[in-house]
Amino acid sequence: MTADAGEADSPPAAEPDDRDPEPAPGPATEDLEPAVTEAGDGDSAGIDPEEIDVASLTGPVRSLDPRVRLVWIAQSLLTAVVLGAVVSVGSALTFGPAWPGGVVTAVLATAGSVHALLRYRRWSYQVQADSLVLERGVFTEVTTVVPYVRIQHVDASRGPVERLAGLATTVVYTAGTRGADVSVPGLTPEDAEGLQRRLKRLAIAAEGDDAV
């Protein structure tokens, strides 16, 4: 049977496309860098400053871990031995007696040990509602106040001697400086990380209050 002359062959119907249409590109957004950064800690990302309980993050005046005295004494002894060796070599080169090096080592070791004990007794810190306060100094008492609104970065670090003693240090960086402004040594690793997190949240809260 032949088709009618006036009837044109129609193309097959197109199958429906079930694929989702690609979304239209939206406006580019800038990456916002938080005022305080902390390596390996993402639990503070997206925190609303108004939801931070500042009172629960503050605390009384605290002293350092007693083991920090051993770290400071060890550092003093190392310095005394090095300087004593230098004096001994210098005396030997000038054909002098060897005992000055031993005297220098003994004096510096004793003075360094006493200084370390006094330094420990004078060291304290307190996390207040608006700032971190440090009290220290043997011959001259030094009080350092670090407002949270100026804190940009907080680290918890452990040097070789600190690792041997099971201690750590919390290092605080503030705006307008290239290096670390203040550090709190003689902390257990848990206390150092806890202080790090507390200061970060307090800085976020202070930034929110300052922006209001």
pLDDT (0 to 100) of residue 52: 86
* Interval 174-203 mean pLDDT: 88
User: In this predicted structure, which of 42-46, 140-144, 195-199, 203-207 has the lowest mean pLDDT?
Assistant: 42-46
Q: Mean of the per-residue pLDDT values for the chain?
A: 81
Residue/partner pairs of 62-67 with CB below 8 Å, 24 or more apart: 62/124, 62/125, 62/126, 63/120, 63/123, 63/124, 64/120, 64/123, 64/124, 64/184, 64/185, 64/186, 64/187, 65/167, 65/186, 65/187, 65/188, 65/191, 66/120, 67/165, 67/166, 67/167, 67/186
pLDDT band at 98 (very low <50, low <70, confident <90, very high): confident
Q: Which residues lie closer than 8 Å to 2 by C-beta, 6 or more apart?
A: none
Picking from 151, 125, 147, the residue whose alpha carbon sits closest to that of residue 136 is 125
**Rg of the chain (C-alpha set):** 32
**3-state secondary structure at position 123:** coil
C-alpha distance across the termini of the chain, in Å: 86
User: What are the structure tokens assigned to 71, written together?
Assistant: 């770290």
Residue 20 has pLDDT above 80, yes or no: no
Could you tell me the pTM of the whole model? Answer: 0.71
